[in-house]
Amino acid sequence: MIVTRFAPSPTGLLHLGHAYAAITAYECGDDFLLRIEDIDKGRSRDGFIQAIFFDLKWLGLSWDEPSLRQSSRMTAYAEALASLKALGLVYPCFCTRAEIAAEVARAGEAQHGPDGPLYPGTCKLLPKEEGLRRMARENFALRLDVTKAAALTGPLRFLEHGHRHPVDPLRFGDIVIARKDMPTSYHLAVVVDDAFQRVTLVTRGEDLLPATHIQRLLQALLKLPEPAYAHHALVLDAQGRKFSKRDGAVALQALREAGATPSDIRARIGL
C-alpha cells in the first residue's frame, strides 16, 4: 500500500503550487495523509490551518482524520534529538547570523549549499566544557556534525522516481537540527513524522529535492525506514517564477471567490 502525504506549513494561504502538490500526493497514494507543519510558532496561524482544510476539501481531497500537527510532536522530536546526541553527532553553536557572514567573508572562498554559504564550523572547535557552560546562559543552535555522521552511516542512496541516487551528506554542511527553545528543525521533524506516519512515498516540489540528502542521512542515523521519493516540477507563473504565499492573486481562496471551480484549478495547473 502506498502512503503519501501533503505537509503544508500554515504560514499563508494555499496557492496553485500547493494545489498541484496536494492533488499529486492524493492521486499517487492508496492512503493520503495531511500533516500540518506548524513548528514555526511565530509564523503559523490557526486561521491558515482552517483555510488549508477548507481549500483541500473544496478541491475534493479527503484524508485520514485527525491530521497530524507537528506542534503536538515535540516529545518525539526531543527523543530523536537525544539519539543523535547519544551518537556524539551534535554540538552547540553560539554564532549569530552576522558572525557567520563575517567568518564566511573572512575565509574568502566559502563552500555554498542549497541554502547559501555553509556554516564555517567555528563552534565545532569549542571545548565541550565551554560549550556546556555557555549553553546555560546564551542562546544557541544545535548543529549536526555531518562529516562524523556520514562516517558513521557509510555511503547512502535514496530512491527518486525508481532510481537510486547517491546521497551527498555534506551538501548543507553542519545543519541546525534544533535550537535552545525548540527540540527540532524542519529536517528532523519531517524525518521523524514520515516514519511515524508510515509514509512510503514522499511526493513534493523539486525545490525540496536537495533536502532529501540530509533527510536520508537522518533516517539512516535514527534507523528509520526509508520512503521512496518522487519530486515534481514546480508550477510557475507567467514570468517563470515559483508562486509565493505573498502573492494573494494565486491563492485558492481568491480564485474561488473570483468564480473559479475545482476543475478550473486543475486545468490551470495541468492536472
Which of 4-12, 53-61, 151-159, 230-238 is the region at the interface with ligand GLU (rule: CB under 6 A)?
Answer: 4-12
Residue 187 contacts residue 214 (beta carbons within 8 Å): yes
Among residues 201, 208, 250, 252, which is the contact residue for ligand GLU, using CB under 6 A? 208
Bridge partners for 202 per DSSP: 229
Among residues 15, 171, 204, 231, which is the contact residue for ligand GLU, using CB under 6 A? 204
Residues 182-201 that bind ligand GLU (CB under 6 A): 190
Which of 1-9, 48-56, 92-100, 238-246 is the region at the interface with ligand GLU (rule: CB under 6 A)?
Answer: 1-9
Is residue 9 a contact point for ligand GLU (CB under 6 A)? yes
Is residue 52 a contact point for ligand GLU (CB under 6 A)? no
Among residues 37, 55, 145, 193, which is the contact residue for ligand GLU, using CB under 6 A? 37
- Pairwise CA distance, residues 22 & 204, whole Å: 8
Which of 3-11, 127-135, 217-225, 257-265 is the region at the interface with ligand GLU (rule: CB under 6 A)?
Answer: 3-11
Cell numbers that stand for 245 in this block: 504565499
Q: Give the nearest distance from C-beta 36 to ligand GLU in angstroms.
A: 9
Q: Where are the beta strands (DSSP E) in the chain?
A: 3-6, 31-36, 68-69, 90-93, 112-113, 116-117, 141-144, 157-160, 163-166, 176-179, 201-205, 228-232
Residue 137 contacts residue 41 (beta carbons within 8 Å): no
Give per-residue burial for 150-171: e unless 16+ CB within 10 Å, then b.
beeeeebebbbeeeebebbbbb
Number of shown-chain residues binding ligand GLU (CB under 6 A): 7
Which of 6-14, 140-148, 156-164, 229-237 is the region at the interface with ligand GLU (rule: CB under 6 A)?
Answer: 6-14
Alpha-helix residue ranges (DSSP H) falling in 175-244: 186-196, 209-221
Instruction: List contacts with ligand GLU (CB under 6 A).
Output: 7-9, 37, 190, 204, 208
